[in-house]
Chain A
């Protein structure tokens, strides 16, 4: 057992650090630092820089155009990216559909879709949830009926992130009604400019437009856009489970960004003549979060080490998701608390130049409420751990 990095890994860290110093420009850095969620265009701009560096897909194997980095290298990259306030990469193409395409897709699908995911030209969105199928995803009702060389899709998806900017959507659709609802589900790749698709914005509690409803009305999708076999779409998500462990482990590292902003703010805020940060009750609350983050970091390191050694880390992926989301909510709550009445802004004061992170702290705090719900609500994660790991 040891926590040391090898000389090669330390050299890699220096390489990453130099790249980030040269490529994360001021506005980009400030946007990430102040907790603003970058828009798709900005994330795509970052992806183009990563692509030019040859780092388009840090978690993909080399044969599909990835970096082929080890989990440790990925950990180093993410640590440094968090330190440098680098934007995240386009998640849905790189981490959700890309790996499914290179694992189960046809050669034609790989050739058509993967390069554009890597370059950042394509923006994918995920058509999974429906009004009647949230945590119970397998209850989905969107139908796809085969008609010659096409599937005809009718139905509705919801909570579709950035559908307004997407070029493509990957959809779970029902191609057959079977007694077991996980059967008869297929995975289709659909161009967003196909006739019959309508996107309706949903404005969330942070007053932002991240998510949408997507309606399908007699949408004709070429049959060659079916991934794998018809009716087997439910099982293809499993390839993501193993990968997810590493991804959620890396997400934990980004928490450090919020702590730094909270500290900067609490050091500047005065409360009864002294800095808020110097007050024992505030410092205590922050320390409690920091110590739980340290535990999360340890869990992440162990998970990455398991991934590196090819060892199953059991339910730790779900545990990381639960703990990360709980902590990101508490940190953004503390951020809003530190700002006090300055957090009670949804837009800058009139006639005053927008200053610091205000009003983004409130937006970040509000936005983070979703983290314990998306990607499988934390209650569902607990069901999964109870069932799979504890045998209850």
Chain B
């Protein structure tokens, strides 16, 4: 049992901290957003240069071949600096599914191609097994019909990973196959929208779209769940960076802002609220570690750790974000302060790949299955 970082990991953490400090210039962030920039292209290019886009990509495919801990370190920095990049989807989820020989991996590492996962459908809400989108053999290939709801960072994606039903009923766990669909495919409609987090997401409508199989036919759900879990942990690390930024900035505000002739931090009611924010951060970090370190554990143990973390970190994150706004008072509600934007991003992270309520149910089911 060891929660310390190796010397290499500590170096990575330090350079991520420098990166976050450089990109944490909030007025510049607002200018980019106001200009309608869909993602932070300069940060993305710098991350490519540093090799971070290939952290989770095998060395044989041009990446660094690191594990969940390194991914976590990078994602925390993204959260701290509110960096708007499609990291978890393109650099964590997609590489977990692509074959080592897939040329897309090299483009992902170089930052020239973005891959997004279109894993949810409106009727299924957060259930990954709910796949009504159909795939039918046609000649030598497959043709897809259906629709996908919320695709995180989908607006700028060049490729989509699309689960489709190749056998069985709509909610069956078997009979799901993963496909790779280029954004330019004929019959594919990409409906782009901007989220409250200023990330640009998308919805897909597929009408007779030709696509290539990714992985094995009918057995796509297992690998998809494992890949999504890796993305979840990356998003939780991002949330962690965001939460700690809120904790620190709120604490600094309490120490300087004066009302009634005293600093806010001298009032016990506010001290105790601040302590509860600090405790929420400790809880979240503990769960983040447990989840990151069990991504390669047997499926049920992984399910329990990841869903437990997704549920509770989400709750802790919303608590911290809401209290950060509250303790900042009126100015906390302003668009001009990073505080409100952290809240908005955390709100979106909470619903990515299932919200707290959904994952609490998954956690309970995994707990019961492990006890049985």
Residues of A bordering B, CB below 8 Å? 1-5, 72, 263, 283-284, 286-288, 290-292, 294-299, 301-302, 304-306, 309, 315-316, 319, 322-323, 379, 382-383, 385-386, 389-392
Interface set, chain B 267-294, CB cutoff 8 A to A: 268, 271-272, 274-276, 278-279, 282-287, 289-290, 292-294
B18 at the interface (CB under 8 A from A): no
Also in contact, A392 and B312, with CB within 8 A (given A3-B294, A305-B3, A322-B279): no
Query: Inside 8 A of B272's CB, which chain A residues have their CB?
Result: 379, 382, 386
Cβ–Cβ contact A3 & B290, under 8 A: yes
CA of A322 to CA of B9, assembled, Å: 32
Interface of B is mostly: helix
CB atoms of A302 and B287 under 8 A apart: no
* Among A72, A290, A390, contact of B363 (Cβ-Cβ < 8 Å): A290
Instruction: Compute how far the CA of A296 lies from the CA of B312 in the bound complex, rounded to whole angstroms.
Output: 11
A284, B275: Cβ atoms closer than 8 Å = no
Give the CA-CA distance A263 to B371 in the complex, in Å: 11
**A287 B367 Cβ-Cβ under 8 A:** yes
Asked whether A295 and B287 contact (CB < 8 A) given A1-B69, A288-B360, A386-B272, the answer is yes
Interface status of B180 (Cβ within 8 A of chain A): no
Interface band, chain B: 35 or more
Taken together as a complex, chains A and B put the C-alpha atoms of A286 and B360 apart, in Å, by: 10
Give Cα A286–Cα B368 distance, bound, in whole angstroms: 12
B279 and A1 contacting across the interface, CB-CB below 8 Å: no
Is A386's CB under 8 angstroms from B274's CB?
yes
Q: Which residues of B, 242-288, contact A by the 8 Å Cβ criterion?
A: 251, 254-255, 265-266, 268, 271-272, 274-276, 278-279, 282-287
Q: Which residue of B lies closest to A389 (CB)?
A: B278
> Min CB distance, B232 to chain A, in Å?
15
Tell whether, in the assembled complex, residue B4 and residue A309 are in contact, meaning their CB atoms are under 8 Å apart. Answer: yes
In the complex, how many residue pairs between chain A and chain B have their CB atoms under 8 Å apart? 116
Complex: A295 Cα to B317 Cα, angstroms: 14
Check A1–B4 contact: CB distance below 8 A: yes
Interface of A is mostly: helix
B300 within 8 Å of A (CB atoms): no
17 contacting pairs across A/B (C-beta < 8 A): A1-B9, A1-B289, A283-B364, A287-B360, A291-B308, A291-B312, A294-B312, A295-B287, A295-B312, A298-B286, A298-B287, A298-B289, A319-B278, A319-B279, A385-B279, A386-B271, A392-B266
Taking a contact as CB atoms closer than 8 A, the residue among B305, B361, B364 that contacts A290 in the complex is B364
B9 (CB) vs chain A CBs: closest residue:
A1
Let me know if B308 and A391 touch, CB within 8 A.
no
In the assembled complex, the Cα of A292 lies from the Cα of B319 at a distance in Å of 14
Q: Are B274 and A392 in contact (CB under 8 A)?
A: yes
Question: CA separation between A301 and B255, bound complex, in Å?
Answer: 32
Q: Which of B309-357 contact A (CB under 8 A)?
A: 311-312
In the bound assembly, the distance between CA atoms of A386 and B2 in angstroms comes to 28
Q: Tell whether, in the assembled complex, residue B360 and residue A4 are in contact, meaning their CB atoms are under 8 Å apart.
A: no
CA distance in complex: A254, B224 (Å): 36
B112-153 interface (Cβ within 8 A of A): none
**Closest beta carbon of chain A to B104's beta carbon, Å:** 30
A72 nearest CB neighbor, chain B only: B1
In the assembled complex, which residues on chain B have CB atoms less than 8 Å from the CB atom of A299? 282-283, 286
B residues near A298, Cβ cutoff 8 Å? 283, 286-287, 289-290
Known A-B contacts A305-B3, A382-B271, A382-B272; A392 and B254 likewise in contact (beta carbons under 8 Å):
yes
Q: With an 8 A cutoff between CB atoms, is B41 at the interface? A: no
B3 touches A301 (CB 8 A): yes
Q: Mark B1-21, 1 if CB is under 8 A from A, else 0.
A: 111110001000000000000
B357 to chain A: closest CB distance in Å? Answer: 8
What A residues does B305 contact at CB under 8 A? 294
The answer to whether A3 and B1 have CB atoms under 8 Å apart is yes
Closest CB pairs A-B (n = 3):
A298-B286, A287-B364, A386-B271
